[in-house]
Chains A and B, each alone.
Chain A
Amino acid sequence: MMDWLSGYEVLFQLTLSLTLLALSLQIPLRMGVVSFASVGYFAIGGYTTAILVVHSGWSTWPAVVAGTVIAGVIAYLLGLGIAHLNGLYLAMATVSFSMILSVVAVNGGSLTGGPIGLFGVMGDATTWHFFIIVILVIIAISFTERGRLSRRFDAIREDPQLASAMGINVVRYRRLSFLISGAIGGLAGSMSVLMKTTISPESIGFGLIVLALTVIIVGGQGSWVGAVVGSVFFLWMPQTLDFVGTWEAVLYGLIVAVAAIYLPGGVVAVYKNWRYRRYVAHRNATLPEAVGASQGGE
C-alpha cells in the first residue's frame, strides 16, 4: 500500500485538492446557488498561505488557518453583495470575481510573484495530513446530507418561495452557503499550495472553474460522494486510458456533454436509481398483492 501510494503521491494530492474544491462548489449548488467563486476562494487561500509562509515566515498550520479564514470572510462579504442575484447572473458575477483575482495575482508585483507566481512554499504538511483534513470535511458535510438540514437544502433549491413560506430564512442560508464554500475553497487552496510548494496565476484560471464544475456534474450534485467520484474519475482516467492518448481532450469534452445531457444527477444518481429499482423489484416480488406494486414504474 505504501509503495503503491508513493508512486502516485502527486496524483493522490491532486485528487484531494480537486475533491475539496468540488465540495466547495457543491455546497451552494445544493441550495440552488450556481456560484463559480470557489476558484477565487481557492486562489485567496492559496496565495494567503504562500505569502505568509514565503514572505512573513509563518509556520504551516497558522498559515493554513489564515488562508481558510480569510477566504471564508471574503466569501461571506461577496455573498452579502450578490446572493440576491438570479441564476446565471450570479454565475457571471462569480466567474468575474474569480477571474479578477487571477489578474490581480499577475499584477501583484513581488508580493504575488507576478505572472510567474510564488515558489518554495515549504511547510510540514504531509499527504496524510491532507487526507485526514479531507476526511474531516467530508464527515462534516455528510451531516448536512441527512435529516432536517438536508430537507431544508432541498426545499431552498427546488422552490425558494415555498421554502420561505415554510419559515426557512432562504437569504440567510444562501449567505451561509457562501461562507462555508469560501472556507472549504480557501482550505483547498492552502493545502494545495503546500503540497505543490508553488502557486501561479495560470493555475487559478478559467480552466480550473471548468474542471471543478465538470467534476460535480459527472460525479453528482447531491452528495459528497459525487465530488469524490468525479475527482477520481477525471484525474485517474488519463492514467488508465492510455489507448485514448492524444484524443483525451476530445473524449473529456464528450463525456462532460453526455453526462450533462443524459445524466443530470451524475453517477451518484444513476446508482441511486438502480438501487431504487432493485428495491421496488424486490418488494414487488415478495408482495405480489401489495398496493405499492402499481407504483413501481416511478
Chain B
Amino acid sequence: MNLQDVVNAMTLGSIYLLFALGMALVWGTMGILNFAHGSIFMFSAFMGFIVTGFVPLPLPAVVLIAVVTGALLTLAIQYFAYQPILKRVKSVAAAELQIVVAGIGIAAVPVAIAEKVTLSNNFGFQNSTFEAEVFEFAGIRITNIMILILVAGLGLGIGTALWIARSRRGLGLRAVGVDPETAALMGVDRKRMALATMAFSGALAGLSGALLTYYLTAINPHSGDGLLLKAFAVIILGGLGSVVGVILGAFILAFAETAVFAYTSGTWVSAISFGLIFILLLVRPQGILGKKEVRRT
C-alpha cells in the first residue's frame, strides 16, 4: 500500500464516517435503526442535481441544498413514521422490526422517484460552477474536493465526539441512550432531542451525498444501498453508542477495502464489510469500543 492508497483510503474513510455518524447517533441514542438513511443520502444529492440543472450553482450552495434536503426528509420520516410507531409500543425494542420495515418501505420511494427521473442512469453536478483542481506533491495526487472531504469528515467526526463527551446537551443525549425514562425525569426534552438528532443525522447524510457526488463526479439511484450496508459494518465494528468507535470503524473499513482492492481482483471488496460484521459479531458483538450488554436468555 503506497502513500497514494493511504490518501485515497483516508478520503473514503471520511465519506464512510460522515455517512455512518448520523446513523450511529440515532441508533445509539434513540434505538432507531434508520434504513432510509442511504435513500436520503442519494436523494439529497439528487436534489442538488435537479437544482443545478436549472441554475449553475457554486459548491457551497449545492452542498447547502443537499444538507437541507437531508435534514428535512429525515425529520419528516421521524414525524410521520417512527414517532407514530413508537407512540403505540411499550419499548423501542418491541418496535425494532416495525421500524426497520417502515424504513425499508420509505427508502424505496425516493429511489423509485430518482430512477424514474434519471431513467436509472448516473447523475452528477455537471452544471455546478465548481472546478476540480489537482495538487501534486511528493508523488501524491490530491484534489481540492478530497481535501474538503477529509476536513469535513475529520472535523465533524472529532467535533461530534467532543460535543457528546463534553457538553451538557451531549450528556443529555447520552442519558437518553442509557435510559430514556430517567433522562426525561432529569429534565431532558426527549422529543426535541429526538428531532434535533434526526435533523443532524439527515444533514450529515445530505453532506456526504453532495461530497461523494463531487468526488466521484456521479452516483446512481442505488448508491445509497451499498453505503447503508457498509455503515452497518462501520457501526458494529466501532461499537454501538461510541462516536470514537464510528471514526475508528470508518477508517478500518476504508483501509481494509483499499488493501483488498490493491492486492486482489476487485470483486471481493464488497465481502469485506460483510465479513467484518460477521466475524466481529461472532467474536466480539459489542464492537471494539462498545460496552458489553447483559442478557439472561
Query: Which residues of A come within 8 Å of B, CB atoms?
Result: 29, 34, 81-82, 84-89, 91-93, 95-97, 99-100, 103-104, 106-107, 115, 160-161, 163-164, 170-171, 206, 210, 213-214, 217, 246-247, 249-250, 252-262, 264
Bound-state Cα–Cα, A26 to B275, Å? 25
CB-based contact A92/B225 at 8 Å: no
CB-based contact A256/B275 at 8 Å: no
Pick the interface stretch among B55-63, B93-101, B245-253.
Answer: B93-101
Nearest chain B CB to A217's CB is how many angstroms away?
5
Pick the interface stretch among B108-116, B139-147, B187-195.
Answer: B108-116
Bound-state Cα–Cα, A95 to B231, Å? 13
CB-based contact A100/B271 at 8 Å: yes
Pick the interface stretch among B15-23, B178-186, B277-285.
Answer: B277-285
CB-CB under 8 A for A89 and B109, given A103-B267, A161-B297, A261-B85: no
Give the most central of B93, B100, B229: most A CB within 10 Å. Answer: B100
CB-based contact B229/A261 at 8 Å: no
B contact patch SS: helix
Bound-state Cα–Cα, A57 to B268, Å? 30
Give 9 closest A-B pairs by Cβ, nearest first: A256-B105, A253-B108, A257-B105, A249-B112, A160-B297, A96-B274, A260-B102, A103-B271, A260-B101
13 more A-B residue pairs beyond the given contacts A86-B295, A96-B278, with a C-beta to C-beta distance below 8 A: A82-B281, A87-B93, A88-B27, A92-B281, A93-B278, A95-B229, A96-B275, A100-B271, A100-B274, A103-B268, A250-B109, A253-B105, A257-B109
CB-based contact A249/B98 at 8 Å: no
Chain A residues with CB below 8 A from B273, complex form:
96
Interface residues as binary, B217-245 with A (CB distance below 8 Å gives 1, 0 otherwise): 00000000100010011001000000000
CB-based contact B104/A256 at 8 Å: yes
By beta carbon, the residue of chain B nearest A114 is: B267
Chain B residues with CB below 8 A from A164, complex form:
296-297
Bound-state Cα–Cα, A256 to B98, Å? 10
CB-based contact B229/A206 at 8 Å: yes
Bound-state Cα–Cα, A29 to B33, Å? 18
By beta carbon, the residue of chain A nearest B235 is: A92
Question: Does B270 sit at the interface, judged by CB under 8 A?
Answer: yes
Q: List 17 A-B contacts (CB under 8 A).
A: A82-B282, A85-B285, A87-B96, A88-B27, A88-B100, A89-B236, A92-B277, A95-B277, A99-B274, A103-B274, A161-B296, A164-B297, A214-B105, A254-B109, A256-B104, A261-B102, A264-B98
By beta carbon, the residue of chain A nearest B272 is: A103
CB-based contact B101/A217 at 8 Å: yes
By beta carbon, the residue of chain B nearest A248 is: B112
Q: Which of B104-132 contact A (CB under 8 A)?
A: 104-109, 111-113, 115-116
CB-based contact A103/B297 at 8 Å: no
Chain B residues with CB below 8 A from A256, complex form:
101-102, 104-105, 108
CB-based contact A96/B277 at 8 Å: yes
Bound-state Cα–Cα, A264 to B99, Å? 10
Instruction: Select A253's contact among B106, B270, B274, beta carbons within 8 Å.
Output: B106
Chain B residues with CB below 8 A from A246, complex form:
116
Chain B interface residue count: which class? Answer: 35 or more
Bound-state Cα–Cα, A95 to B281, Å? 12
Chain A residues with CB below 8 A from B101, complex form:
213-214, 217, 256, 259-260
Query: Which residues of B come within 8 Å of A, CB atoms?
Result: 27, 33, 81, 84-85, 93, 96-102, 104-109, 111-113, 115-116, 225, 229, 232-233, 236, 267-268, 270-271, 273-275, 277-278, 281-282, 285, 293, 295-297
By beta carbon, the residue of chain B nearest A207 is: B225
CB-CB under 8 A for A97 and B93, given A92-B232, A260-B102: no
CB-based contact B268/A107 at 8 Å: yes
Chain A residues with CB below 8 A from B27, complex form:
88
Bound-state Cα–Cα, A206 to B271, Å? 13
Chain A residues with CB below 8 A from B105, complex form:
214, 252-260
Give the most central of B84, B98, B108, B275: most A CB within 10 Å. Answer: B108
CB-based contact A84/B109 at 8 Å: no
Bound-state Cα–Cα, A260 to B278, Å? 27
Bound-state Cα–Cα, A245 to B267, Å? 35
Chain B residues with CB below 8 A from A247, complex form:
112, 116
CB-based contact B98/A260 at 8 Å: yes
Chain A residues with CB below 8 A from B232, complex form:
92, 95-96
CB-CB under 8 A for A93 and B106, given A34-B97, A213-B101: no
Bound-state Cα–Cα, A252 to B109, Å? 8
Chain A residues with CB below 8 A from B116, complex form:
246-247, 249
Chain B residues with CB below 8 A from A97, complex form:
274, 278
Bound-state Cα–Cα, A291 to B201, Å? 53
Nearest chain A CB to B231's CB is how many angstroms away?
11
Instruction: Select B112's contact among A87, A253, A264, beta carbons within 8 Å.
Output: A253
Bound-state Cα–Cα, A153 to B71, Å? 41
Chain A residues with CB below 8 A from B109, complex form:
250, 253-254, 257
CB-based contact B108/A252 at 8 Å: yes
Chain B residues with CB below 8 A from A91, complex form:
100
Instruction: Select A85's contact among B84, B274, B281, beta carbons within 8 Å.
Output: B281
Bound-state Cα–Cα, A252 to B106, Å? 9
CB-CB under 8 A for A260 and B96, given A85-B285, A93-B281: no
Instruction: Select B277's contact among A29, A87, A93, A160, beta carbons within 8 Å.
Output: A93
CB-based contact A260/B296 at 8 Å: no
Chain B residues with CB below 8 A from A249, complex form:
108, 111-112, 115-116
